[in-house]
Structure 1
C-alpha cells in the first residue's frame, strides 16, 4: 500500500477483527501509520551516526546495532493512527482512545508518549551475500535464533509490571521475508505469564531471582526451543512496509532475526509505560485487551480476574549492560555528528 494513500493524520478505531486477532495471537499490525517522507526525514542522519555508508557494504562492520537516542517526537502528533491504536489496547473494555490515553504516563520529557531515533539497524553480514535461502517453514527457521527474550531490561519484572505496557515496533524501512524482521512466538505469552504468576517476588529481566545479576537468556532460549510448548506455526517474522507498526503483548517472546537479504532493516522499539500497574482483579470486570489476553493465557474465565493476587517484592529499576553500552555509544555519535557538521 502506498503511503501517499494512507490517512495517518487521523486516529484509528480498532475493528472487531483486530481485537479478536490480538486476543487470539497477541499482536496486531496497524498499516500506514506514517508516511515515507516522515520516515526519510526522521532517519536522515542515521548513516552518519553509524559511521557507515548506505551504498558501501565494506563499511557495514556491525551486523546489528542498537543505536542510542538523541531526539524524540510525540507519537500523538507524528502518528495519531498508531497512538489511537495503542490507547485502545490499554483502555478498559470497550473504552475509548481517551480512556487509554489517561492510563499512560509521561515520563521525563514525555518519553513514554514519544518515539525516539534510537534505531535498531540490521544490515546482515558478509557471509549472507550470495547465500542460498533454505526452503523451510518460517517458524522452523526462526526457532533456532539465539536472541529470544521479553522486553524490559530496565526493571524488575512482575506479572502486572507497568513499565513495559505494550511492545511497539514501528517499521522505518521495508522488511521482506528473510530481511531481518523481528521474530515473535505467539504461543509464548501463556508460558511467560504463568512463570511470572508463579514468582510474585519478582524476577530480573533474564527471569532469574533478583539476587542473580547474570545476563543470560537460558530461560527464554529453552522455551523457544520447546516444540511441546511453542508450536512452529506460532512463530512468525514481523514483515511489512515503511509506516507499518506492530503492537504486541508485553509478554511476547521475540528475537532479532538474520537479515539474509542484506537490505538495511531499520526499526525502533519505543517503550510505553502505564501510570499504574496492570490490574487483574477489577471490581467492574472491565479489563483492557492486554489484561484480557494475559488472563486468558492464565486460564481465567472471561470477565473474571485473579482474586486477591498481588506482588510480594519491591518494584525497582534494573541497570543492564545494554544501558551502559548505549550511553558510551551516544558520546561517540555526538562526536561523529559534530565532525560531520563542521
Structure 2
C-alpha cells in the first residue's frame, strides 16, 4: 500500500516508484521470453556483435506467457492502482500489454528520444489525449533489467503533469493529437527538473498519464536495457466535477487547472 507521503509525492511530482513490485524470478522469466523473440530476429543475447540497432521493439506477450501475467497482476501494483485511480475505475487486465523497447549499447540516435506525453485513445483518424484522460489511468514503467544512469533510462520532467493538464484543458473533450499537444507541452514544462527512471529489475514507476517523459541516448552501459511501458486503462473518463471525491490522478488534474 502506498503511504500518505508517497501519494502526496505522486500528486506533486507526477510519479511514484514501487520498489521490488515484481519478484526477481518473475522478472527474469519475462526477460527470457523477450530474448526468445529477439533471437528469432537474429539479435542474440550472448553476442554483442548482433546488436546492430540502438533499439528493438516487441509487442508485450499476452497469451500463454504466465510470467507477464504474474508481473502485470502483482498485488502491490493493483492495490496502488486502486489508491491512485480509484477502485472499479480501471481495467483489471490479466497481463501487461503495450510494447517492450529493448535499448542496446549503441552510439546512434534511436529516433524516439523526444519529450512527450502518451496519447490514450484513437478517434478514427489519429491518437489523442484529452483533459479527462479518456482511456488512460496511469502509465507504468516496469524495469525488467537493472537500469543505471548509463543504461539509457527514461527521463522524467518532475511535476510536468500539471503543465500538460493546462495545455490540454482548453481543448476539452475533443483533446489534442501528439502533433498538436507536443510543442506547447514541451515548452510549458521546459524549466522542470529532470530525473531518470533508474532502479533494480522489478521496480515499477507509476506515472500520471500527463507526465512529460522521454527516452535517453546514447546507451553507455554494457548490457541491454529492457522495460515494459503499459498503460493502465481507465474504464470511464474522469468527470473532473467533484474534488472531494477525486482520487490522486484526477485530483492532480483538478489542482492543475483550477490553481
Distance 2:107 2:135 in 1: 37
Say if 1:165 and 1:250, in contact at 8 Å, map to a contact too.
yes
Question: Who wins on radius of gyration, i.e. which is larger?
Answer: 1
Find the aligned partners of 1:299 and 1:279 in 2 and give their Cα distance: 14
- With over 3 angstroms needed to count, the CA separation of the structure-2 counterparts of 1:87 and 1:195, relative to structure 1, is same
Give the TM-score of the pair, scaled to structure 2: 0.84
- How do 1:78-157 and structure 2 match up within 5 A? 78-91=73-86, 100=87, 102-105=88-91, 110=93, 113-116=94-97, 118-126=99-107, 146-152=113-119, 154-155=121-122, 156-157=128-129
Q: 1:19 to 1:69 in 2, by over 3 A?
A: closer
Question: Which residue of the other structure, out of 157, 161, 173, is the alignment partner of 2:133?
Answer: 161
Normalising by structure 1, we get a TM-score of 0.65
| Bigger proportion of residues as strand | 2
Provide the rounded CA distance (Å) in 1 between the counterparts of 2:171 and 2:230.
Answer: 27
Equivalent of 1:176 in 114, 136, 148: 148
Secondary structure (helix, strand or coil) at the match of 2:245 reads coil
CA offset at residue 151 of structure 1?
1.0
After superposing the two structures, state which structure 1 stretch, 181-190 or 244-253, moved more. Answer: 181-190
Q: Cα 1:127–1:248, aligned 2, differ >3 Å: closer, same or farther?
A: closer
Give 1:154-233 correspondences, 5 Å limit. 154-155=121-122, 156-200=128-172, 202-208=174-180, 220=182, 223-224=185-186, 226=187, 229-232=189-192
- Map residues 4-43 of structure 1 onto 2, 5 A cutoff: 13-43=1-31
Rounded Cα–Cα distance in structure 2 between residues aligned with 1:77 and 1:262 = 27
3-state SS of 2:96 partner = strand
Match of 2:37 among 21, 27, 49: 49
Once the two structures are superposed, what CA deviation does each residue of 1:162-216 show, in whole Å capped at 9, x if it has no partner? Answer: 31110101110000013111111124222211121111252443143xxxxxxxx
| Of 254, 258, 274, the match for 2:234 | 274
**Residues 196 and 202 of structure 1 are in contact (CA less than 8 Å); yes or no, is this contact kept in structure 2?**
no
Is it true that 1:245 corresponds to 2:183 in the alignment? Answer: no
Q: For residues 179 and 244 of structure 2, what CA distance do their matches in structure 1 show?
A: 29
RMSD: 2.5
Q: What SS class does the counterpart of residue 250 from structure 1 fall into?
A: coil
Relative distance call for 1:222 and 1:278 in structure 2 (3 A) is closer
Structure 2: stretches of 5+ with no match in the other structure: 123-127
Structure 1 residues 219-277: Cα deviation after superposition (integer angstroms, max 9, x where no partner): 535643x4x74325x21110000110000100011111112214211111112112211
Structure 1 residue runs of 5 or longer lacking an equivalent are 1-12, 92-99, 129-144, 209-218, 301-342
3-state DSSP of counterpart to 1:81: helix
- Aligned match for 2:247, one of 256, 264, 288: 288
State the alpha-carbon separation in 2 of the partners of residues 222 and 202 from structure 1.
17
User: Helix, strand or coil for the counterpart of 1:121?
Assistant: strand
Answer whether contact 2:132 2:173 (CA < 8 A) is retained: no
In structure 1, C-alpha distance between the alignment counterparts of 2:150 and 2:16, rounded to whole Å = 20
Inter-CA distance 250–153: structure 2 relative to 1 (3 Å threshold): closer
Structure 2: distance between partners of 1:79 and 1:207: 35
In structure 2, C-alpha distance between the alignment counterparts of 1:71 and 1:248, rounded to whole Å:
22
What is the aligned residue count? 244
